[in-house]
A and B are shown apart, each in its own frame.
Chain A
Amino acid sequence: NAGVMQNPRHLVRRRGQEARLRCSPMKGHSHVYWYRQLPEEGLKFMVYLQKENIIDESGMPKERFSAEFPKEGPSILRIQQVVRGDSAAYFCASSPGQGGYNEQFFGPGTRLTVL
């Protein structure tokens, strides 16, 4: 019974390159959330997706960042033309549904370093 899976665990990119972060939710979960964490800070919400739909992207930077959760396959957080300020840990969480009080289960995170 695997938990939330994220890969890669560590990603190093040079400024201007693209970063692709993947998240496979827990089995049976159809809701995915992405959060970003800077050192010694709490997690900051970025985007909330269901299969093939973006529900809430109020935390996403307006440029360079995009997210998708296709019908088949993992959710992808894509950062184009990365800058040093994008260096952070990116966490994905999943939950079974929106209604009620659904706990969000977190993955181990992807640590992005931009050189």
Chain B
Amino acid sequence: GESVGLHLPTLSVQEGDNSIINCAYSNSASDYFIWYKQESGKGPQFIIDIRSNMDKRQGQRVTVLLNKTVKHLSLQIAATQPGDSAVYFCAERYNQGGKLIFGQGTELSVKP
């Protein structure tokens, strides 16, 4: 059944510091992974993606690392800014059918 009222894991960082958000995914056959940012009252916003044949991908201020051995994904945000405050979700795709499976999410709070 579904759980109601769980508190999201929270990461609190100082402005300018680097942030690392972690995610454990469930299916070793997943071939595509995405990190989304969700601000309060809004839909998920794409940040960065990575295919299963890669172990690292960099974007602007963000880096995603994939460790298939332990089924672990991480998102690194450099020089975190107050505008980065949001809930971050990892998502995996089981097959090329397109359905995404989302993780629980981590709330990032940036202190000025």
A41 to B46 alpha-carbon distance, docked (Å): 18
Report the count of interface residues on B (CB-CB < 8 A): 29
Taking the closest CB of chain B, its distance from the CB of A104, in whole angstroms, is: 6
Selected interface stretch from A64-72, A75-83, A105-113: A105-113
Given the known A-B contacts A48-B98, A104-B98, are A42 and B32 also in contact in the complex, defined by CB atoms under 8 Å? no
What's the minimum C-beta distance from A87 to chain B, rounded to whole angstroms? Answer: 11
Which A residues are in CB contact (< 8 Å) with B4? 38-39
Interface size class of A (residues with CB under 8 A): 20 to 34
Q: Is B7 an interface residue (CB 8 A)?
A: yes
Q: Which of B68-108 contact A (CB under 8 A)?
A: 89, 91, 96-105
Give the residues from 26 to 56 in chain A that come closer than 8 angstroms, CB to CB, to chain B: 31, 33, 35, 38-45, 48, 55-56
